[in-house]
């Protein structure tokens, strides 16, 4: 589903965030990307989402070379990718329902179809009763679940999550990871940047380890909890 | 197709929300646009109205012929006959020096002044109505009459209307210049307002970009915002100009009878209203497009 071929990402200030990274991720995989801060995890996800373009090399999504796509084509492609951020990126001048519905409004969805999808996404993350609440009144864990509901409301086949449990206490982190695991079981491909030890030890089936912008390791695991 | 309408409907609603979110700021911006546009809109209308007045005067082309003081009645009769025979003349009215003096004596205040004169100072006069209002033909008649015996002076009564027409052409150019400058000011106001809107919506735009909004989708509400500002600004300008017309008409009611005229400014015609709204709305749309293109963050 995702292929990176000798990808280099160099920023205008000269900093090289990724140096010749090559990897393959199959459809339906749940892959964790780990590494210290500044190792290039977020950059890797941004390249996979088409938010940024590689300086050299190729990022292929379902066989499409993202580097060759126009900005408009990349934007349309992103409408089919679920993005989860550590800082949630919620809009506090709108309620939970409106935040979750925002990708659908961009896609031109309306009416009953929109209501059904938003309702299903909120139910999936257990926030049906908070639909009319302002996100600012929610806890960090709830805000993250709103962010996840927004990511999945378009029923994407790929979800990219950047430190989704960062800053959350273990209880909320586990709720979030359980939600991701249910997506994985439903056949969604997940790429999660994290250095959450609980996540890595209990939920990961494959871990990519980045070190200073290079792929330092790619290991299959056999999570006991995941098997249950 | 339905989706297209919904996208535009949402963009329009978004623009209206932006306008209503800070009502005082929006109102001030609209008033600035209105005040900026009021001057060229009002001047344009006043010049058009003055042009109508000039044209109505030109439709009655009069030439006044003043005979010399020593012109005898035989010469006056001969002049009358010559005028009747002229092809370019529609009608002739003769005012004898005695009739003119009697008219003047009837005017309050003048009778006493005229009584001190030992003889009638007024000449025999012909008021000629020409067939054509064409300035060249009128000038040709004037020159011909000037060459006749015992003709002292020939006055083209519509000459002031021609001068007015020439002034109006100058005025129209002036209005164009003012409109260009004010249009530039309007442009700057809308570009800056949209820029501020973009800056205040950074988070929303960033999230929309990440969610897969194209630049066209992100740009659209701001274009509607500029368009609405233009429309509302034009409405404010037209409102202010209409108020100005109302106030001026009050002054003209006293002023124009002194010049023997019955003239007052008409309100804006529907065509003028729509034209002003359309031009300003489109200008607002273009200004917003420029602002959005310049200030929307680009993907790396």
- How would you label B213-234 residue by residue, b for 16+ Cβ within 10 Å and e otherwise? bbbebbbbbbbbbbbbbbbbbb
Cβ–Cβ below 8 Å for A80 and B212: yes
Q: Does A34 fall in a domain?
A: yes
pLDDT of B1 above 80: no
Q: Is A5 helix (H, G, I), strand (E, B) or coil?
A: strand
Cβ–Cβ below 8 Å for A106 and B210: no
Tallying the residues shown for chain A, one arrives at 228
Q: Does A88 fall in a domain?
A: yes
Distance CA A152, CA A159 (A): 8
Which pLDDT score is estimated for A10? 94
CA A154-A156-A158 angle, 5° bins: 150
Q: Does A182 fall in a domain?
A: yes
Identify which of B188, B182, B176, B217 has the alpha carbon closest to the alpha carbon of residue B286. Answer: B188
Which pLDDT score is estimated for B77? 94
DSSP track, B157-215: TTHHHHHHHHHHHHHHHHHHHHHHHHHHHHHHHHHHHHHHHHHHTHHHHHHHHHHT--H
Which pLDDT score is estimated for B158? 66
Residue ranges of B 280-299 with Cβ closer than 8 A to chain A:
299
* Confidence band of B258 (pLDDT split at 50, 70, 90): confident
CB A208 within 8 A of CB A33: yes
ipTM of this predicted structure: 0.85
In terms of CA atoms, which chain B residue is nearest residue A104? B211
pLDDT of B40 above 60: yes
Which pLDDT score is estimated for A224? 42
Number of separate domains in chain A:
1
Q: Does B213 touch chain A (CB under 8 A)?
A: yes
Give B200-227 pLDDT, tens digit per residue. 888 888 899 898 888 888 999 999 999 9
Cβ–Cβ below 8 Å for A83 and B7: no
CA A203-A226-A2 angle, 5° bins: 60
Domain of A213 in residue numbering reads as 2-220
Distance CA A178, CA A173 (A): 9
Which pLDDT score is estimated for B95? 93
Using an 8 Å CB-CB cutoff, list chain A residues near B208.
Answer: 102, 106
Q: At what angle do helices B215-255 and B2-21 cross, to 10 degrees?
A: 60
CA A115-A121-A125 angle, 5° bins: 140
Q: Is A2 helix (H, G, I), strand (E, B) or coil?
A: strand
Residue ranges of B 148-187 with Cβ closer than 8 A to chain A:
none
A162 pairs with which residues across the strands? A193
B127 pairs with which residues across the strands? B64, B93
Which pLDDT score is estimated for B119? 83
Q: Where are the domains of chain B?
A: 2-57+163-299, 62-157
Q: Does B216 touch chain A (CB under 8 A)?
A: yes
Considering CB atoms only, which of B203, B212, B216 is closest to A79?
B212
Q: Does A225 fall in a domain?
A: no
Residue whose tokens read 């020593």: B70
* Confidence band of B280 (pLDDT split at 50, 70, 90): very high
Identify which of B270, B276, B184, B271 has the alpha carbon closest to the alpha carbon of residue B230. Answer: B276
User: So what's the architecture of B62-157 in CATH?
Assistant: 2-Layer Sandwich (3.30)
Cβ–Cβ below 8 Å for A79 and B211: yes
Which pLDDT score is estimated for B56? 64
Which pLDDT score is estimated for A119? 95
Q: Does B211 touch chain A (CB under 8 A)?
A: yes
Looking at the complex, report in whole angstroms how far the Cα of residue A119 sits from the nearest Cα belonging to chain B: 19
Query: Residue A179 carries which DSSP code?
Result: H
Distance CA B131, CA B128 (A): 10
Distance CA B124, CA B72 (A): 9
Q: Does B20 touch chain A (CB under 8 A)?
A: no
pLDDT values of chain A reduced to their tens digit, one per residue, 228 residues: 899 999 999 999 999 999 999 999 999 999 999 999 889 999 999 999 999 999 999 999 999 999 899 989 999 899 999 999 888 899 998 999 999 999 998 887 878 999 999 999 999 899 999 999 999 999 988 999 999 999 999 889 999 999 998 878 888 888 889 999 999 999 999 999 998 877 788 888 899 999 999 998 887 776 545 433
Using an 8 Å CB-CB cutoff, list chain A residues near B207.
Answer: 89, 91, 102
Looking at the complex, report in whole angstroms how far the Cα of residue B202 sits from the nearest Cα belonging to chain A: 11
Q: Does A62 fall in a domain?
A: yes
Instruction: Give the mean model confidence (pLDDT) for residues B152-180.
Output: 82
Using an 8 Å CB-CB cutoff, list chain A residues near B216.
Answer: 72
Q: Does A102 fall in a domain?
A: yes
Cβ–Cβ below 8 Å for B212 and A107: yes
Q: Does B300 touch chain A (CB under 8 A)?
A: yes
Which pLDDT score is estimated for A228? 38
Using an 8 Å CB-CB cutoff, list chain B residues near A89.
Answer: 203, 206-207, 210
Cβ–Cβ below 8 Å for A81 and B212: yes
Instruction: Give the mean model confidence (pLDDT) for residues B101-110.
Output: 78
Query: Residue B260 carries which DSSP code?
Result: T
Which pLDDT score is estimated for B178? 87
Distance CA B277, CA B271 (A): 10
CATH code of the domain in which A32 resides: 3.40.50.300
Using an 8 Å CB-CB cutoff, list chain B residues near A49.
Answer: 210
Distance CA A101, CA A117 (A): 8
Average pLDDT score over chain B: 86
Using an 8 Å CB-CB cutoff, list chain A residues near B210.
Answer: 49, 51, 78, 83, 85, 89
CB B233 within 8 A of CB B34: yes
Distance CA B62, CA B172 (A): 27
Using an 8 Å CB-CB cutoff, list chain A residues near B211.
Answer: 78-79, 83, 102-103, 106, 150
Which pLDDT score is estimated for B55? 66
Which pLDDT score is estimated for B54? 66
Q: Does A36 fall in a domain?
A: yes
Computed from CA positions of residues A140, A145, A146, A148, in that sequence, does the dihedral angle turn out positive or negative?
positive
Q: Does A32 fall in a domain?
A: yes
Which pLDDT score is estimated for B57? 62
């Amino acid at each position: 589903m995702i292929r990176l071929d000798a990808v280099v990402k160099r920023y205008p200030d000269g900093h090289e965030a990724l140096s010749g990274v090559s990897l393959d991720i199959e459809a339906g995989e749940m892959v964790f990307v780990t590494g210290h801060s500044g190792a290039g995890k977020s950059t890797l996800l941004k390249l996979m989402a088409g938010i940024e373009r590689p300086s050299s090399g190729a990022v292929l999504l379902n066989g499409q070379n993202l580097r060759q796509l126009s900005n408009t084509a990349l934007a349309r492609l992103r409408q089919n990718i679920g993005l989860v951020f550590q800082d949630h990126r919620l809009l506090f001048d709108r309620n939970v329902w409106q935040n979750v519905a925002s990708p659908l409004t961009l896609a031109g969805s309306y009416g009953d179809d929109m209501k059904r999808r938003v309702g299903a996404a909120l139910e999936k993350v257990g926030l049906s009763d908070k639909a009319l609440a302002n996100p600012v009144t929610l806890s960090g864990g709830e805000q993250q679940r709103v962010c996840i509901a927004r990511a999945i409301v378009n029923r994407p086949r790929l979800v990219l999550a950047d430190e989704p449990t960062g800053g959350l206490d273990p209880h909320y982190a586990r709720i979030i990871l359980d939600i991701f695991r249910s997506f994985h079981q439903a056949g969604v491909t997940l790429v999660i940047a994290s250095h959450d030890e609980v996540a890595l030890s209990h939920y990961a089936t494959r871990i990519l380890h980045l070190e200073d912008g290079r792929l330092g390791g790619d290991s299959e695991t056999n999570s006991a909890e995941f098997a249950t | 197709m339905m989706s297209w309408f919904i996208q535009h409907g949402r963009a329009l609603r978004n623009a209206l929300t932006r306008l209503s979110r800070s009502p005082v700021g929006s109102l001030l911006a609209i008033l600035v646009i209105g005040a900026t546009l009021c001057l060229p809109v009002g001047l344009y209308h006043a010049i058009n109205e003055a042009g109508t007045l000039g044209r109505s005067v030109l439709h009655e082309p009069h030439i006044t012929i003043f005979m010399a003081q020593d012109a005898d009645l035989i010469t006056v009769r001969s002049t009358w006959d010559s005028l009747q025979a002229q092809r370019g003349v529609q009608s002739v009215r003769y005012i004898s020096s005695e009739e003119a003096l009697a008219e003047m004596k009837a005017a309050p205040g003048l009778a006493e002044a005229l009584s001190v004169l030992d003889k009638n100072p007024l000449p025999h006069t012909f008021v000629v109505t020409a067939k054509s209002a064409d300035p060249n033909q009128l000038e040709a008649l004037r020159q011909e009459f000037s060459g006749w015996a015992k003709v002292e002076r020939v006055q083209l009564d519509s000459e002031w209307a021609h001068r007015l027409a020439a002034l109006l052409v100058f005025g129209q150019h002036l209005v164009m210049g003012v409109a260009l400058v004010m249009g530039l000011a309007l442009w700057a106001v809308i570009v800056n307002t949209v820029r501020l809107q973009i800056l205040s919506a950074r988070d929303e735009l960033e999230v929309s970009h990440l969610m897969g909004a194209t630049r066209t989708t992100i740009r659209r509400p701001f274009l509607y915002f500029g368009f609405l500002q233009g429309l509302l600004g034009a409405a404010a300008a037209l409102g202010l100009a209409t108020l100005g017309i109302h106030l001026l008409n009050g002054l003209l009611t006293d002023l124009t009878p002194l010049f023997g005229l019955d003239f007052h400014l008409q309100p804006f015609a529907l065509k003028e209203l729509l034209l002003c709204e359309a031009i300003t709305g489109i200008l607002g749309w273009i200004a917003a497009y420029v602002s959005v293109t310049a200030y929307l963050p680009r993907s790396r």
